[in-house]
Structures are given as structure tokens and as C-alpha cells.
Chains A and B, each alone.
Chain A
Amino acid sequence: MTKVVIDPITRIEGHLRITCKVEDGKVTDAWNTSTLFRGFEIFLKNRDARSVWQFAQRICGVCPNPHAINSVQAVERALGVAKVDDNARLIRNMTEAAQIGYDHILWFYILNAFDYVNVPDALNAKPATPALKAVQDRLKAVVQSGQLGPFANMYWDHPGYKLPPDMNLELTAHYLQAIDAQQKANEANSILGGRYPMVHHLIPGGVTQLPAYDEIMFYKARMQQVKDFVDTVMVPDLLAIAPYYLDLAKTGKGVGNYLTWGVLDEASQDPYDRLFPRGGIFDSKLELQKVDPGMTRRYTMHSWFDDSVGDGKHPLDSGQEPIKFTQLPPIEGEAFPEGKYDWTQAVRLTDKDRPMEVGPLAQVLVAYLAGRTEVKQLVDSTLAAVGAAGKPEILMSNLGRIAARVIKAKVNCDNAVGWADDLLANIGKGDNKVYTDLDLDGSGTGVGGWDAPRGALCHYVKLNGGKVDTYAAVPPSNWNLSPRDDKGVRGPVEEALVGMPVVDPAKPLEILRVVHTFDP
């Protein structure tokens, strides 16, 4: 029996320790520990209803848009506003689509690729084009300088790297192109939002202003470039890499429950009718279940809060106080985490208190079951391309999570330009309305529920006279990186790790891969 601790888990947003028990070459138990706490729900108390979304988007600098939209929507609904003007819907969709485009490109290449692409091995490639030769020369210069920088100390000699040198070089070249592609997406976001990350165009009641014609055209041009990258680089890369890593389709299934609150509004602004609609899947059965953010429950027996904070309560009834910190076992030594071991609270879905996996896989599976044509076609053609036609259940795996992210990126980018055209059409008809005034000094309870790129995200707010009485945010990592709940049931990442083969516990590449498929 070996204890494997990875701290820090790198190439993620946030701070994470993973502890695994490895026996006979396989993970037999796992614990995830978020090692960062900031206390958003505590300092959001008593804040002004107009200001609160600017705080809330700082929960995540990788995905501020969905946090901002969640917060704005929660406040709007608390004040009795269920729909915004159609132009505001389109502008919110447009910036969200840019966010999603950037985020999935960032994840696929910059955060995830080094688990599969052996960068130093690219030096052994025979470059097929001058462009690839230039990338190889650039890489050679770094290696010859003796200053490997971010590539130093990685286990590049691990037998889990399967790609031939030519593909390693090509993927390294695409990594560099991806930096440019994600910049394009963020330019699209910032031409409307002011900057990225941390946007300035949202406000409860709509958006701050109607974009100018040239800004909308700029957005369209940029998102077209992002779409081109996804279509001509990212999708082919997925299909090229997948055959080398098909064993990952057999591992990392996890809890088999999937949840999405939905994202990207249609004209109805009904969460069950979104481009990626709201819904759930339980117990690995590919049947669509109706879910609602009111079904979220929190548990804190294994989190660094008093047991009574969670105890199966609704997010607005729980909070983040009192804190009960206990020490983690040291990295070295034999001890495994016991009792409280995480700053993340365990969240579960009633009525069966299920741990739920969230993310593009959940979003794509739910859209597939809901019969969204573009998703269905893409999923079916992807399955056929990897020799698994008619078997969507193989997506419930490590490889499935990777594939789903690429499929979602494509559907998203295919639609982005269309929303810009819809906005232009509305303006052409004389509809310039982007904001409806609302009484921000009111009281009430409201819920967001609009997925972040990495999964189900929901903000909850109780307003009292225009001030926050209680605020709760349940981000995707709260679901995926849940610790054990009060009944001892593992969270989704913990569960997905169990059973994973580990060839060399001193170089736990396989563990990194599983964790990264969740985009924590």
C-alpha cells in the first residue's frame, strides 16, 4: 500500500491537494482537499444589490462571466424580474459564448495537453512543414539554453505518453496557436464587456448600453476566427489523439449522476429550453430527469466548518460559519485524511442526496437526451469516428469528459455569430432597448442557475430592502470536488479516481489526468 499525495495539483484554477491510497497498482481510495478559503458568503452580507455581482464575478478569474450572470439573475429574480429585454439576452449570450470558447480552448491545450503531449519528444519529430520546423527550432532553443522553465521536472519519461514524435510536435504547435485563439475569444468578450477577465457591461435589469455597430461586427469577426480554430484545429486534434488513449474510455466513470442548470438562453429565457438545457441524469441511466436549484443540499461533516453548518440544509440556510479548522495529515508519513479535510463543502442533490458530476459531459449528455439537434449530430458523428457508434454510454469516462468539452466548444461557437446577427436584426427593426429599470431597494429571494464552462453553477440571494441578507454560491467545483458527505459517500472526483491504474506512484500521471478531466 502506498500513499500518493499531489500538492499542488497544477494547471487548474484554485488550490488543490489530492491524496490517494494505491494498492496493487490501482487507486483504492481518494480524498480531495481544496487548500484555499476566502469567505465570499461572509463578506457578501449587507452588500448593496447593485454592487453584489461585481464581487461575485471575482469568485473565479477563469470564468467571471457566468458568476456575474448568476449573481445578476439571482438579484433580478429576487426582485420579481424573470426575463430581460431580448437585446440584453443576446448580449449576455454573446459574451458568455466568448467566455465558453476561450475557456474550453484554454483547458484543452494549456491546462490539459501536457498530460498527453510529450513536449520534449517533439524534438525527435521530422517536421513536415516550415511552420512546424520553426516551432521545433524554438523549442530546441529553450532546451539547449538549459532553462526549461515550466517544462522542468515533469515526468516526460512516463510510459503513459503514447503519441509519436510528429504528433507531439504538431500538438505543441497547436498549443501556441491556442494562446492566440483564446485571445481572440477574449477580444470578442471585452469589446462588449470592457475587458477580460472581469467584465463591466452587466447590471441587474439588462446590460449597461447597446453595443455600437462596429463593436458587433468586431465581435462577429473574432468569434468566426475562434470557430475556425475549433473546427480546423481542436476537433481534428481530439479525433487524432483519441485512438492513442482509448483505454481512458474505460476508466474514470465516477458517480454516474450528471447535473446541469443549463446555459445560453433561447428567446423563451426558459432554463429548460436553453441551447444547453437544464436537466439531470441519475444512476448511469440515459434518461432525462427534471432538476431544480432548490434541490441543492450542503453537508460539512468532512469540511472545515461546524457540522451544523451543512447538515443537509439548503444553501441559503447554511453559509460558511462557524469555521472549524483541523490540521491535514502531513504529506509524508502513513496517515490518510480523517474527519474534516476540505475547505469545500459537500453538495448533494435531493431527494436521494446524490453526488452529481457537473461539466461539459453533463451538459452534452443532457442536451443529447433533450434532443438538441446540433448536439445529437455531433455526439453521434464523434462516436462513429472513434468506433463506438450508438454507444453514448462510453462518454461516461475520462475520455468522454475530454470529448464532451470539444463538442460543447463547437456547438457554442457555431451559435455565437448567430446571436450577433439576431442583435443586428433587432436593432434594424428599431429595437434599441437593453435595460429595464427595476426597484433595487426591494426585498425577496432569487436564484440564478446558469452553468459555468466547467459545470453547474448557481447563486442564491435573499435581499432585504436592497441589501444582501444572505448570499450563497455553489460553483461547479463544489459539486465535482465535494469531499465525503455526512454518510461517508465520496465526491465525484474522489469516486472517479478509485480504480484508476497507477504505473509508478512516484510519477502519478494517471491521477493528474483524471483530476484534469474535471477542469477543476
Chain B
Amino acid sequence: MNRREEDEMSVFPGLTRRDFLKCCATLASVIGVAGPMAVTSVAEALEDLARRPQVVWSLFQECLGCSVNLLQARKPDPAQLILQQISLNYHEAVMAPAGFQADKSFTDTVNSRDFYYIVEGAIATGIPEAMTVAGRTSMEIVKDAYQKAKGTICIGSCACYGNIQAAAPNPTGAKGVGDYLRNEGGISNAVVINSPRCPGNAEDTLAILVYILVNGKLPELDDKGRPKFLFSQTVHDNCERRGHFDNGEFVEQFGDEGSRDRWCLYKMGCKGPVTYAPCPINRWNGDISWPVKAGPCIGCSEPGFWDKLTPFYSKESGIRTPGDISPVAIGEALGIATAIGIGAHAVVQTARGRMGKGGPLSKERGPVDQPDHWKKQSEDPDDTKPGSEKGGS
């Protein structure tokens, strides 16, 4: 088959069939659909979309880091994503129009009630006017759009939990979207998917979107609203420096010989043992690097880490060790938080074996409570069959 024929086989112009299947395979592995059927299921689900799913992406109290990371996505790359796989109707940093014309894109799409809502940034609840777009506060905008959306994904720790602007004393009353909606917003059963980390990781967000499109329902979430298929293991569990931890080989000072050999950063204040995130697995910037490759983890996927896990670069916070760690006595030596973290993961790992790339099958999990606007999409009782439900319309 020549290149041209391959092109024609793909429903996405410009993307060859082979590239498309490669992309589906990656997504299938990330969202935890395994086996030879998986790639076909993901491919069928995506190809069946007559219309690209509409997406509205709001920016609130943020630094744009999550969007910048989205621009670093590879599978699919941002151009494929925006031109061929979704219809990104509103994103203030990307869209051509401004002012009234931009606001029209927002209003038209939101009022169509046929869109997925992605939020980057925290909601200013203490000083509502600390965050406005077109004269409306972040509180007004997010409540309106949430109620009309087919699903809401919070990308990055700001939208999930308030993040840095919520650091004590939280001058503007910054909150995560779910927290705001369930309290000040008055929607007590509001459910959003949290995809934390600072910045939010593009591949996480894409994986969640694809999960929803393929399965027609939201993934199972942990008690912090994070998809379990992404956030069920600690950074420490899968760390590339883990072998050095097990051998008792630690960096004692930045720049020392151990640091050149990439020994464990635990003594430099690494928060990996108490941080639940897929950082070492799906990594960053096209899989080439991740924070602990360069320095200690700061725990950026954990709610309140700016207050709970600081000071960074110090064992004084988060993870406390009374003295030097002996690898044979980790249980006694580690602080309570670490012990819980490692303990919880020992259970998970015993049950499933150590994860490679990608998570366990979603159908191993039980159903979760879903709000009405999610239920609309998953009426098929056989919801464990990937691809049995199609997103979009």
C-alpha cells in the first residue's frame, strides 16, 4: 500500500492510517484498555465520530502552564488534536477572535450543551473580581458551563484544588472547581474529573478525554477526584532512582558524586513516596524527561502541597525521618505519611503486580456514582466493553 492509499484510509486527513493506529495504541495503553482488541476499539470509537467533539477550555486563576504543556503533547500532537480530533471552540490563548467575537464562541458552544468542558485555573471565591472574563467572575462562568457540559475535566492542580494561589493565607479565596461547585456553587452532587499536577500533564488530559469517548462514561475516581487508572501509584513506586533507594544509595548534597550517578533524592527532600502521580510512567515533553530526572519531586499532584509538603528540599516536611535510613528498616525509619503511602501501594502491587506502562483494566473496577449529565452517555449496561458507547453525537 502506498502512502496515498494509506492517507485515504484514515478518517483524519493528513494523518496516515498507520500514524492513527499508533496514536490509538498509545492511548489504549494509557487508559488501561489492554489486549489485541484494544487498539481497534479505540480506533473505532474515534473514527465513528461524525462530528468532532466540541471542547470549551476556560482559563481562570492560572499561569497558562497547563496549556503550554498541552502544546508539548505528541500523541496526538496539538495540530492533530485541534484540527482533526476535537473542535476547540474556546481557548483564550489559542483562538483567533477576541472580545465580543470570542465571547460569542463561548456562548454559542456552551448553550449548545454539546461540549466537554476543560478548566485550567482556580476559582476566586473570596474576592470574586480577582478573576473575571468579559465582566463575569470565574464563579459565574464555571457554574454556568458546568451545568451545560457533557462532562467537566479539571486540568492541573489549580482547577483541581486551588493550588498555588490557595497557599496560605489564600488571599483571593482560591478553590478547586469541584470544591467551589459543591459549596458556594450550591450543586452538592457536582462531579468533576481532576487531572492534577503542576502543570497539568497533556497526556493525562488526552487520555481522560479518550477514555470518556471510548467508554462513554467517566473513569473511576479516587477520593480526591483523580482517575484511578492514572493516579493509583506513588511516584516512588515507579521511580527510575528506586533501585538506589532500595540499595541505600542517596544523594547527600546537590552536585555530589551520588547526584552524578543519579542516586535517590529522598534525603534531599523528595516527596515521591507520598505523591500519587503517573510522572515516572507517562513522563513529560514527549516521554523524554520528568521532574525527578532533574531534582526532587515537590508533590505537585497532591492537594495543598504548597503548605503540607513544604519546605521543599528538606526532610523537615511531609516525610519525616528521625535519622539516617537503613534500607532494611524502612518501616521503622520512615514517617507515618510515607509508611501509609508505601503500605497502600504494597497492597495494590501485590494484587496487580508492578505496573508497566499504562494502568490496569478499567473493568476490574466497580461502578461509581455518576451525576445525571454523565449518565446520559452510559446507558448501555455492558459498559465494560470498550467502544460499546460512543461519545459525541
Contact = CB atoms under 8 A, between A and B. Distances in A.
Interface of A: 5-15, 35-39, 42-43, 47-48, 50-51, 54-55, 58-62, 64, 106, 110-111, 114, 119, 134, 137-139, 141-142, 145, 147-155, 176, 179-180, 182-183, 186-187, 190-203, 205-210, 212, 218, 320-321, 323, 325, 327-328, 330-331, 343, 432-435, 437, 508, 512
A54 B52 contact: no
B215 interface: no
Interface residues of B, number: 91
B187 interface: no
A134 B63 CA distance: 35
B285 to A, nearest CB: 4
Contacts of B314: 48, 50-51
A161 B264 CA distance: 56
Nearest to A203: B254
Interface string B193-216: 000001100000000000000000
B355 interface: no
A145 B97 CA distance: 19
Contacts of A150: 82, 88-89, 91, 94-96
22 contacts: A7-B133, A10-B97, A36-B131, A37-B131, A48-B311, A51-B310, A55-B167, A58-B63, A61-B63, A61-B66, A61-B199, A150-B95, A155-B101, A179-B71, A179-B78, A187-B285, A187-B286, A196-B284, A199-B294, A327-B129, A330-B135, A434-B255
Nearest to A103: B68
Given A141-B13, A208-B254, A43 B51 contact: no
Given A8-B134, A153-B105, A330-B135, A64 B65 contact: yes
Given A6-B98, A183-B72, A152 B105 contact: yes
B170 A15 contact: no
B64 interface: yes
Contacts of A137: 13-14
B339 interface: no
Interface in B112-126: 124
A51 B314 CA distance: 9
B165 A38 contact: yes
A154 B96 contact: yes
A138 B286 CA distance: 24
B285 A190 contact: yes
Nearest to A177: B79
Contact of B295 (A59, A114, A179, A200): A200
Contacts of A434: 254-255
B23 to A, nearest CB: 16
B285 A196 contact: yes
B167 to A, nearest CB: 4
Interface string B350-386: 0000000000000000000000000000000000000
A9 to B, nearest CB: 6
B168 A43 contact: yes
B42 interface: no
B169 interface: yes
Contacts of B300: 198
A11 B135 contact: no
Contacts, number: 291
A194 B286 contact: no
B144 interface: no
Contacts of A5: 99
B165 A39 contact: yes
Given A10-B102, A48-B311, A209-B254, A15 B294 contact: no
Contacts of A12: 92-93
A139 B13 CA distance: 9
A8 B84 CA distance: 26
Nearest to A14: B64
B172 A55 contact: no
Contacts of B129: 325, 327
Contact of B99 (A192, A209, A327, A508): A508
Contacts of A192: 294
A373 to B, nearest CB: 33
A209 B94 contact: no
B127 A325 contact: yes
Contacts of A141: 13-14, 83-84
A193 B294 contact: yes
A194 B295 contact: yes
B288 interface: yes
Contacts of B95: 10-11, 150-151, 154
By Cβ-Cβ distance, the 10 closest A-B pairs, closest first, are A61-B65, A194-B294, A435-B255, A39-B171, A48-B311, A61-B63, A195-B284, A200-B295, A154-B96, A6-B99
B198 A51 contact: no
Contacts of A202: 295
Contacts of B174: 38
Interface string B249-292: 00101110001101000001000000000000001111011111
Interface stretch (B29-37, B54-62, B178-186): B54-62
B71 A38 contact: no
Contacts of A7: 99, 133-135
A433 B312 CA distance: 23
A197 B98 contact: no
Contact of A50 (B54, B82, B99, B313): B313
B305 to A, nearest CB: 10
A138 B83 contact: yes
A43 B169 contact: yes
A50 B259 CA distance: 18
Given A50-B313, A205-B254, A209-B260, A194 B289 contact: yes
Contacts of A180: 77
Given A150-B88, A200-B293, 18 more contacts: A10-B98, A11-B95, A43-B167, A55-B164, A59-B63, A61-B66, A61-B68, A153-B101, A194-B292, A194-B295, A195-B289, A196-B284, A198-B199, A203-B295, A208-B259, A209-B251, A320-B171, A435-B255
Contacts of B77: 179-180, 183
Nearest to B74: A183
Contacts of A182: 71
Contacts of A191: 288-289
Nearest to B63: A61
B285 A200 contact: no
Contacts of A206: 254-255
Nearest to B78: A179
Given A61-B65, A197-B199, A37 B170 contact: no
A150 B66 CA distance: 18
Nearest to A118: B96
A149 B127 CA distance: 32
A183 B63 contact: no
B308 interface: no
B387 interface: no
A152 B98 CA distance: 11
A432 B256 CA distance: 9
B134 to A, nearest CB: 5
Most buried by A among B63, B66, B103, B292: B63
